[in-house]
Amino acid sequence: MKEKINFLEELNEQQKSAVLNIDGPTLVVAGAGSGKTKVLTSKLAYIVEQRKAWPNQILCVTFTNKAAKEMRDRVAKMLAGKTNSLSWLGTFHAISVKFLRRHAEAIGLKSNFTILDTDDQKKLIKNISKAENIDAKKISPQFILSLIDKWKNKGLLPEEVKLSKKHVFENQILKVYKIYQTKIRDLNACDFGDLILYCVKLFEKNPDIRKIYSNNFKYILVDEYQDTNFIQNKWLQLIVNENQNICCVGDDDQSIYSWRGAEIKNFLGFDKVYTDCKIFRLEQNYRSTKNILDTASFIISHNKDRLGKKLWSEGEKGDLVKLNCYKNGKEEAQGTGAIIEENLKKNNSLNEMAILVRAIYQTREFEERFLKIGINYRIIGGIKFYERAEVKDAICYLRIINQKFDDLAFERIINRPRRGLGDATIKQLYEFSSKNNICLEDSAKKLFQLNKFKPKIKNVIKHLLELINKWRSDLKKNKHYDLLKIVLDESGYSEMLKNKKDLENETRIENLKELLRAMHDYDNLQGFLEHVALATSIDQEWEDEKVNIMTIHAAKGLEFNSVFLPGWEEGLFPHQKSLEERGDSALEEERRLAYVGITRAKKKAYISFAMQRSWHGEWMDSLPSRFVSELPENTIEKNEEPVNEVSDDFDFNQDNLLEDNEEYRSPGWARLKKKLLK
């Protein structure tokens, strides 16, 4: 028999108070690294141990399956494995499925209903859009689904939607929504958004069913409450019991997902809904040094919409948070690389270092630098810069302009943007190419001359070949980076991105702008394409430990010994678009992002900004972020003047790379030597 852990003895006073208070509504304001999961699992275990409820009378809601599994495992350990019946521990969606399977008929479904995945949803939306003559190039299925999902998160079925006219296409999308809901009902199916929405409708229209569950659940526990949206909060309110034994745990200072529908007012207004609630604050941090905590706390104190808390630690004061000013983005990447190398000399692991950016396009300069000096890296929650679809598309256009024998590039761009050329045309080109031992471009020319294409396809091929020839002539008269602007415009690629309503569209445009900035570092097209090919191929060879690169959003819930926070400039962080769209509320969320970023660091934090950024080939002055001025003087070590330029150590194509008298340059230099000597 497993030995039971005395879990209450492991809690600090704040945590213990929160755990022991089990009756009535409770809000636990849990600061970063303060042990919120420990409190939640301890409370669950305490309720069971004290026999206040049977395990199947406790509803415990998480946001991820991973969190649910972690909680289940922890509680099992605390109670010596006697918790096999925690049948109502899971995500909002998983628990909703259980409700709906039992009561499907009450909402017009059969109990064996299917849950559609994203691909199924997109296919269905595509078919409906086609039937309704909606141009998928202008309104993508993904964009339609995102708006439908927003309506569902607000608890709105098609007949309940009131058009805001915020989007010019709302009327068309609402029509698609009506047809879409009818069709998935006919299929005896629902999507992820329906799972919670249908539960709410089920409980609202069937008070007897609602009562079954509100009577059964003696206690409700909720994790990451600050991330709940309207419909999830409504779901909770409908099934809470008369005694209002609901305990919600979260951190209002880490509410950073409003773009995903999360509503911080659920958290801030908890005491208005549950008037007799008790609020507990977990302020002792077990993750970061005092200087890091004081820095984060001081910044977040500038927010008005928060419940308020002050993080503290019994740990060491630690290093001051470094604030570095660089001349430009390239030097910021060089300086960061130099600091990482210094940390490596002290036997610090790359896995324990992270670069957290505000916008994903910022990764490019760091990737470039790390490839050059031999520091391996991973992109968390995203794709490496030169592997992003829009970047690869643009590069393939440049590759085919550079030389016509690049069949892979020709195949990629022939129908990007869509020109009405399908697999049959590609197959025809490849077969003719193979038979006559010529490249795809020459195949297209020859088949055109032989009149082997259908009239519509013939015109498309003719236009494309003429454009490619024109671009080759343009290259002789223009800089290679100016040529890319011409190509993107004349190919229709720019227009496709501008007109397309798509969630990721803005990111794609930013990535292409960053690609243009990258091209300015090279004298000609050939040199740039060689760099791209070399960068991607070398990167694939390196393994072992890696620096983590990700957005601050993707870093939530993670921790690292050393954290780098680059790009603290106005317009980038806080992000200009967010401020323009949502004003003061966006500024507060951007500040919460800064708080989340800083509190990912356990031992060292490095904040940096650049005095200049490249914009369309021109150097533009940058203003330091307003968050820089909000940093506390006593916890910051400032480099007031721009950090001296870090010299480029080497290029991979140097002839003398392995000369015996070559001085030691970096850890990457040493690693590269070993690889080349094998």
pLDDT confidence band for 581 (50 / 70 / 90) = confident
- Catalytic: 15? no
Q: Which two tokens stand for residue 323?
A: 């604030």
- How many of the other CB atoms lie within 10 Å of CB of 469? 13
Give the whole-angstrom CA distance, residue 308 versus residue 320: 24
pLDDT of residue 672: 47
**Mean pLDDT, to the nearest integer, of 296-321?**
94
Q: For 7-156, where are the alpha helices, taking DSSP H only? A: 13-20, 36-49, 65-78, 92-103, 118-131, 141-153
Spatial contact of 564 and 354, defined as CB atoms under 8 Å apart = yes
pLDDT of residue 406: 87
Q: If you write DSSP's letter for every residue of 499-558 in order, what string do you get? A: H-B-TTHHHHHHHHHHHHHHHTTSSSHHHHHHHHHHHHHHHHH--SS-EEEEEHHHHTT-
pLDDT of residue 674: 52
For 621, which DSSP code? E
- Collapsing DSSP to helix, strand or coil, 321 comes out as strand
**Mean pLDDT, to the nearest integer, of 463-484?**
93
- Catalytic: 36? yes
Segment 77-98, tens digit of pLDDT: 888 766 567 889 999 999 999 9
Above pLDDT 70, what percent of the chain? 90
pLDDT of residue 341: 94
pLDDT of residue 592: 97
For 187, which DSSP code? T
Segment 492-550, tens digit of pLDDT: 999 888 877 766 788 899 999 999 989 988 889 988 988 887 766 554 444 578 999 99
Give the whole-angstrom CA distance, residue 602 versus residue 566: 17
Higher pLDDT, 73 or 19: 19
Catalytic residue among 194, 224, 227, 441: 224
pLDDT of residue 81: 63
Q: Which two tokens stand for residue 434?
A: 């193979």
Residue 645, pLDDT above cutoff 50 = no
Segment 128-137, tens digit of pLDDT: 998 998 888 7
**Mean pLDDT, to the nearest integer, of 233-238?**
97
**Mean pLDDT, to the nearest integer, of 639-660?**
45
Q: At what angle do helices 389-402 and 525-541 cross, to 10 degrees?
A: 130
Residue 648, pLDDT above cutoff 90 = no
pLDDT of residue 83: 59
pLDDT of residue 633: 94
Catalytic residue among 26, 41, 172, 223: 223
Return all residues near 281 (Cβ < 8 A) that are at least 6 apart. Answer: 14, 28, 29, 31, 307, 309
Catalytic residue among 600, 602, 603, 604: 600
For 89, which DSSP code? E
Higher pLDDT, 658 or 206: 206
Give the whole-angstrom CA distance, residue 251 versus residue 308: 10
Mean pLDDT of the residues in the chain: 88
Above pLDDT 90, what percent of the chain? 63
Spatial contact of 573 and 567, defined as CB atoms under 8 Å apart = yes
Residue 176, pLDDT above cutoff 70 = yes
- Catalytic: 600? yes
- Catalytic: 224? yes
pLDDT of residue 155: 94
Residue 663, pLDDT above cutoff 60 = no
Alpha carbon 295 to chain centroid, angstroms: 25
For 421, which DSSP code? -
Is beta strand 618-621 parallel, antiparallel or unpaired with respect to 601-615? Answer: antiparallel
pLDDT of residue 337: 96
Q: Tell me, what amino acid is at 559?
A: E
- Collapsing DSSP to helix, strand or coil, 221 comes out as strand
The half-sphere exposure of 96 on its side-chain side, counting CA atoms within 13 A, is 27
Give the whole-angstrom CA distance, residue 403 versus residue 318: 56
Q: Tell me, what amino acid is at 220?
A: I
Helices (H) and strands (E) in the chain, counts: 28, 16
The C-alpha R_g of the chain, in whole angstroms, comes to 29
**Mean pLDDT, to the nearest integer, of 14-39?**
94
Closest by Cα among 579, 651, 661 to 373:
651
b/e sequence 271-298, b meaning 16+ C-beta within 10 Å? eeebeebbebbbbbbebbbbbbbbbbbb
Segment 271-308, tens digit of pLDDT: 999 999 999 999 999 999 999 999 999 999 999 999 98
Please, what sign has the CA dihedral across residues 519, 520, 526, 532? Answer: negative
Residue 662, pLDDT above cutoff 70 = no
Lowest-confidence range among 263-277, 322-336, 615-629, 659-673? 659-673
Give the whole-angstrom CA distance, residue 59 versus residue 12: 25
Give the whole-angstrom CA distance, residue 163 versus residue 140: 19
Catalytic residue among 26, 36, 514, 613: 36
Return all residues near 146 (Cβ < 8 A) that are at least 6 apart. Answer: 503
pTM of this prediction?
A: 0.82
Closest by Cα among 62, 63, 84 to 73:
84
- Catalytic: 581? no
**Mean pLDDT, to the nearest integer, of 61-79?**
87
- Catalytic: 37? yes
Segment 410-442, tens digit of pLDDT: 999 998 898 888 788 888 898 998 899 999 999
